[in-house]
Amino acid sequence: MSRHRAHAAAGLRRSCPSPELFASAPAARPRSECREQLEQSAARLGPWAQGPFLLGDDLRIEGQRRSDLSWETIAAELPPGLGGARVLDLGCNAGYNSFMFASRGAGYVLGCEPSRFIEQARFLEGIYGSGVDFQATAWQQLEPQIQGRFDLVHCAGMLHREPDPVGLMDRLHELTAPGGTLLLGSMMLADPAMAEHVRFVPLGYDGDSEWRWVPGALALSAIAEAAGFEVGARFGEAPGPPGELETVSGYLRATRRKT
Amino acid sequence: MRQTRPASTHGTAPSAGLPASLAGTRVLDLGSSGSGDRRRFEDLGAEEVVEGTPPLDRRPGPPRSFGFVHCGALPVDGRQLLLLSRLWHLAAPGASLLLGSRVLDAAEASRYLSVRAGPAGLEWIPGRLALRWLVESSGFDVLRWLPEEAVGRPSTEPFAYLAARRSERSPALLEQVGAPVDEAASPAGEASTNGGAPGSSRPDDAYAQRVPD
């Protein structure tokens, strides 16, 4: 948590979640007695991976990453208004993208996050009153018969850590409405010669503290197509984390086949 | 020179991978029903032989109860990790795993899985090192590869067998269920988490949620 001068924060307000984005927000400027309480709550819920989140005035939560920049990548793929669409943000973390989908005109946004980050999302929702439905739900627990299907599904940073990637893709297909859009974000192999392969990186390899799948771009497309999606363009590609294994991170845009 | 086995014996446990005795041992045999393995295991003194079919959506026995697990043909459907972690839960501490799988021939692709269309859907065929890492990440220690001449091949596809032992460590895969992802691995540094069930960091819980009794 940090304080910035108002003019420094002003540049972020166009693209960051803040009370001003939501008509139902109680206040854009926290009263002084609330301010200390907000700061304490935010600190207690940290560390924050996503950010920045504007809480009003010059009060904001810094994240470890610039989610506002990530959002700009996503936003460029969306129509200017979401026209009341049903949106699923799977693995929503503190809800940055969920809030932005809501501000973009989505009719209903379901943000799912099974880890402790859901508490951050709920804390922010208590301030913003955006109407996003945050649930501490894992993808295995989502059923189209219960939650319904979604016009737009956003899922980033999950596939490469999923023990059952095929099961995840099948569920994404079930949850996407026919003709609906999937924005699937993943790290990918940088080497085009291995584009049709998946690398399994075990725990401890090259100093990694985590295991992961790293699909080649064509393999990722094949996995999405096998699940029932028509794969369109890739976008938002950027160099992945440094290491022995060269990777890129990026998105794949796919449409659920109507039949 | 490689031997080629008739397809009808696909999944049959190679003798080179069997212990001298299975006395008092519960055996789980996956995917080789009708191959004659049951008789061989019983001849070695197995207390009970339970046959199962991947992906083991039904739990074939109580957890940690099998002292010897044979999987004659690991499915190459992209769900290998899930099946291996299920086997870890079913195997007793120190249990032996005898595992066969199609593998990639190309040495330069040993660390990768090839993803390509097959007759029954998309196939994720591992290189040998990738297969080893999948097994180790699922809580088993790989002891040795069986010699090619002892394995034979059920078809023209490259095939390999390995012997492993269930370790005490729980599958690394399941330990991280619900844990946050390295943000740097996500597009534009975006942070997210995997889809693990909330509060399911205990492997038994995770298994129980996926496999109905």
Q: How many CB atoms lie within 10 A of CB B132?
A: 21
Q: How many CB atoms lie within 10 A of CB A257?
A: 14
Cα A100 to the center of its chain, rounded Å: 10
pLDDT tens digits, B171-195? 766 544 433 333 444 554 444 443 3
3-state secondary structure of A213: strand
Residue B212 to chain A, least CA–CA distance (Å): 14
Interface check A199 vs B, CB under 8 A? yes
A vs B, Cβ pairs < 8 A, gives 192
Residues of A in contact with B87 (CB under 8 A): none
Is the pLDDT confidence value at B45 over 90?
A: yes
For A57-101, write each residue's pLDDT tens digit: 888 999 998 999 999 999 999 999 999 999 999 999 999 999 999
Please, which pLDDT band fits residue A229 given cuts at 50, 70 and 90?
Answer: very high
* Residue B54, C-beta contacts closer than 8 angstroms, at least 6 positions apart: B30, B31, B71, B74, B75, B83
Q: What is the mean pLDDT of chain B?
A: 78
pLDDT reading at A114 higher than 90: yes
Per-residue pLDDT band for B56 (boundaries 50, 70, 90) equals confident
A155-180 per-position pLDDT tens digit = 999 998 898 999 999 999 999 999 99
Q: Give A32 to chain B, closest Cα distance, Å.
A: 31
Which amino acid appears at position B59 of this protein? R
CB contact under 8 A, B186 and A187: yes
| CA–CA dist A186, A188 (Å, integer) | 6
pLDDT value at residue A208: 65
Looking at CATH, the fold of the domain delimited by A66-256 is given as: Rossmann fold (3.40.50)
A11 has a pLDDT exceeding 50: no
Boundaries of every domain in chain A: 66-256
CB-CB neighbours of A189 under 10 Å: 25
A221 has a chain B CB within 8 A of its CB: no
Q: What is the average pLDDT across B35-62?
A: 86
Residues A126, A101 contacting (CB under 8 angstroms): no
Cβ contact, residue pair A158, B184, below 8 Å: no
pTM: 0.86
